[in-house]
A and B are shown apart, each in its own frame.
Chain A
Amino acid sequence: MSQSRQHSRSFRIVRLLTLVGLLTLGLAVGGAAFAQASANRLVFAGNQEPSSLDPTLGSRNVNEREVTAQIFETLVYLAQDYTIYPGLATAWSANDEKTEWTFTIRSGVTFHNGDALTAQGVADQFDFARTNTELLGGSWSQLSEPLAGVSVDGNDVTVTFKAPRPDLLIELADPGFGVSDIAYITEVGQEGGYNPIGTGPFMFKEWVSGSHITLVRNPNWTWGSPMFGTSGPALLDELVFQFIPEAQTRLATLEAGETQFLDMLPFADIARIRDSEAFAVSGFQLPGMPQMNYLNTNMSPTNELAVRQAINYAVDKQGIVDTVYFGMTVPAYGPLSNNFPEYDPSLETMYPYDPEKAEQLLTDAGWVDTNNDGVREKDGVTLKVVLVENKSWNDWVYLMQAYLQDVGFDASVLTTQGPSNTAAVASGQYAAPAMGDVFATATLMTRDWSSEGYGTFPSGHFWQGPELDEMLAAAGVETDDAARTAKYHEIQHFIMDNAMMVPIFELYFYAAHDKNLTGFVVDGTGYYKYFAGASFAD
């Protein structure tokens, strides 16, 4: 090969490589930053991408329901003060046994595709839940087995259950019970989850996988629930849900102005953002089972009541609240949040922080530190407990570990995440798995305490007697308010008398948003936000 040809070849290589480098930067030309705020466009910084956007097809997580709450409507709505507001149902009634519920369906409602919402359509929704096994995982599937039948009379839909369902209205207020266009779902199947059709204030526009979901105002929406503060149409032109898994990045987008609403503000940043002139911070207590640790009653050493009680006395809940959560929540004292009407306040004095008492209980039970290594033993067995953590959800366990070590436990932490956490808790092999739950009615505490969940369901206490199941079953069908409260008091005391758990703190979520954003509504769970009436003040 001639010299000149070699020369030109060398330069071609260098130029090629440099060009590749420069051209790559010019690959995606144009396009502004993703989410520049416009006067009527709200970008919500979410943390996880949904899997499906139709509640009938399997709304399996709260992130999905946050979005579907804007697209679909429920029969009723639950406000923060636990008032039930009409939604797609304008009126309702139930028989004394609470086995038969009748809903009067609102007239003049249409789906985003123009189909009319009728009483028959709502009946078809209940029937679909009862008969279609592909719905598993969604909220509607919870009614599959309990439903006995559905009938229609004019604008009224009557739903019959096999057993009393006293909390049905609170259940149906969950966005997971949004009403779908069943005819559309039957036609398109799972694809409906990618192109949802609802009756809500916002219509689906686009879903860019891994990036965002865009909703636009439904101009025909004029039947808004009184809970929204507007009958419609919505004031926002566009509502965008962006998926930002990294918490600090999520917060940075709010501070940089790329998003205007942030859910789950990190506790460490609450004070700083609250002091900012640009943002408003709101705290919401989520009802349900507070953040806690189960105590496994079916394995050593937590099968001993004295050990379980000692653990309760050894943990400084206020210390955890102040240290780990910067004082932004409050201690918990039992298996139900303190904002339930069935909450028993007498639990608050049962297990004060008292490490001396914890040590005495352990010593009286025969657990002593015979070799002065700081860990107690009994009959050659070390006082060992493993705390199971669901990564980034149960940060308190490390401080709890220290409290337990102070009184002579060999305490360690097993870090798991998501499904491995569920598997670890369900395995029954660990003494103190951390847990929490969010639900709006005390009836649903059954799913965390029933023996039905042992081994498959994340219930980590493994109590072997039938008493708890019997009490839960009786309370779940009690229709008299006073009797119901008494029954749930009894359940809470049973759990705490037997020290089947260590309550730690009440779950609070803090949301931060542009100070000019007004009019959004938070429901009774403290988690779901409705933007039908939201707008930016001038």
Chain B
Amino acid sequence: MIGYLGRRLLLTVPVLLGIAIVVFFVIALIPGDAVSAMMTQVKLAPDQMALLRRQLGLDDPLFVRLGNYLAGLLKGDLGVSFFGYHPVLRLIRENFPATLELTVAAMGVAVILGLPLGMIAALRHNTWLDLSGMTVALIGISIPGFWLGLMMIQFFSVQFGWLPITGHGLRPLIMPAIALGVAESAVLARLTRASLLEVLREDFVRTAKAKGLGMRPVVLRHAFRAALIPVLTMFGMQFGTLIGGAVVIENVFARQGLGTLVTKAVINRDAPVVQGVVLVAAVLYVLVNLTVDALYAFIDPRIRYE
């Protein structure tokens, strides 16, 4: 297992390198740069713009800039923001915990809502419980998170004052976590239902029932664990979606986080910040999926990594 995980970690290096290069070129090639962004607020004279571009290295040839960037990466230096010259690592360190908090909370919402919904739908297959559960899931997948967030703000905060819109702590986290987690819970519910239905048709489940076991131990002790494998796989893959969704939700709820940070950086063409945040997100995504892979062996003893 250790060897397997070690090899997977080593393979992430070229993946991250590729991501870094792609993001670099995307930012470099879209119209406008950081100086252009500054011009939307402060009109600079042409010679000032030229000098600023020179100071920020924006007038260097593209591959020189790429080389400097990759050289910095090797030293663990993500550079400084073009706006305010704040070290990118510091900005990420300051904003990352809030994004992690929101993402984990949303995952919690997804698990709490999605797993039971999917299980009930599977166990009550072809009944009104199944139909209504999947209808709810369909609605959950269809509703855009930002719309749900804005509606919750109007209803729970403006109309009734039950929940705060902004701030730190548990109560301000509830609405954004739900707005972000609802779509994931719907996906989780549908996949849990499908996976559990398939497992319930397996021979070993029939054997367990034939031995006289009640439905509860059959499901919880035998079937559910087997059904978890594809659910876990999806969970790991959906983590990337959650990170992306966090960008929108953080902006809607004015939450501190990497989403707010990267949104502003993209608009301002603050390349070092965009590159840094994307790299961090990529590392997170890889680590989450590695964790999922490790959990497979824990859940299913048949799975062994050489």
Contact = CB atoms under 8 A, between A and B. Distances in A.
B191 interface: no
Given A24-B105, A24-B108, A10 B224 contact: yes
Interface string B92-124: 001100100100110111111001000000000
A34 B48 contact: no
B31 A252 contact: no
Interface stretch (B16-24, B34-42, B135-143): B34-42
Given A390-B40, A456-B46, A252 B95 contact: no
A518 B221 CA distance: 66
A136 B170 contact: no
B280 interface: no
Contact of A423 (B31, B52, B101, B299): B31
Nearest to B256: A210
B81 A51 contact: yes
A284 interface: no
A60 B268 CA distance: 12
A381 interface: no
A206 B107 CA distance: 31
B228 interface: yes
Binding site secondary structure of chain B: helix
B238 interface: no
Interface in B213-262: 217, 220-222, 224-225, 228, 250-257, 260-261
Contact of A418 (B32, B101, B153, B225): B32
A194 B217 CA distance: 59
Contacts of A257: 161
Contacts of B165: 33, 249, 252-253, 256, 258
Contacts of A246: 150, 251-252, 254
Contact of B91 (A176, A209, A418, A456): A209
A30 B173 CA distance: 11
B169 A31 contact: yes
B43 A437 contact: yes
Given A209-B94, A210-B94, A210-B260, A456 B49 contact: yes
Contacts of A209: 91, 94-95, 256, 261
A18 B111 contact: yes
Interface in A1-33: 1, 6-7, 9-11, 13-14, 17-18, 20-33
17 contacts: A21-B109, A24-B105, A25-B173, A26-B170, A32-B171, A33-B166, A33-B167, A33-B171, A49-B264, A52-B83, A58-B84, A60-B42, A209-B91, A418-B37, A418-B267, A421-B40, A423-B31
Given A32-B171, A422-B36, A13 B228 contact: yes
A22 B108 CA distance: 6
Given A253-B165, A419-B267, 8 more contacts: A24-B104, A27-B173, A31-B167, A35-B166, A139-B42, A210-B95, A419-B32, A422-B40
Interface residues of A, number: 86
Q: How large is the interface on B (under 10, 10 to 19, 20 to 34, 35 or more residues)?
A: 35 or more
B224 A14 contact: yes
Contact of B301 (A1, A255, A416): A1
A323 interface: no
A164 interface: no
Nearest to A193: B84
Contacts of B222: 10
Interface of B: 30-34, 36-52, 55, 81, 83-86, 91, 94-95, 98, 101, 104-105, 107-112, 115, 150, 153-154, 157-158, 161, 164-174, 177, 217, 220-222, 224-225, 228, 250-257, 260-261, 263-264, 267-269, 298-299, 301
A274 B34 CA distance: 38
Nearest to B217: A7
A514 to B, nearest CB: 15
Contact of A422 (B37, B150, B170): B37
A17 B115 contact: yes
- A21, A23, A31 pick with most chain B CB within 10 angstroms: A21
Nearest to A25: B108
Nearest to A390: B40
Given A208-B256, A419-B268, A242 B166 contact: yes
Contacts of B84: 50-52, 58, 190, 193-194
Contacts of B47: 145
A371 B150 CA distance: 48
B253 A249 contact: yes
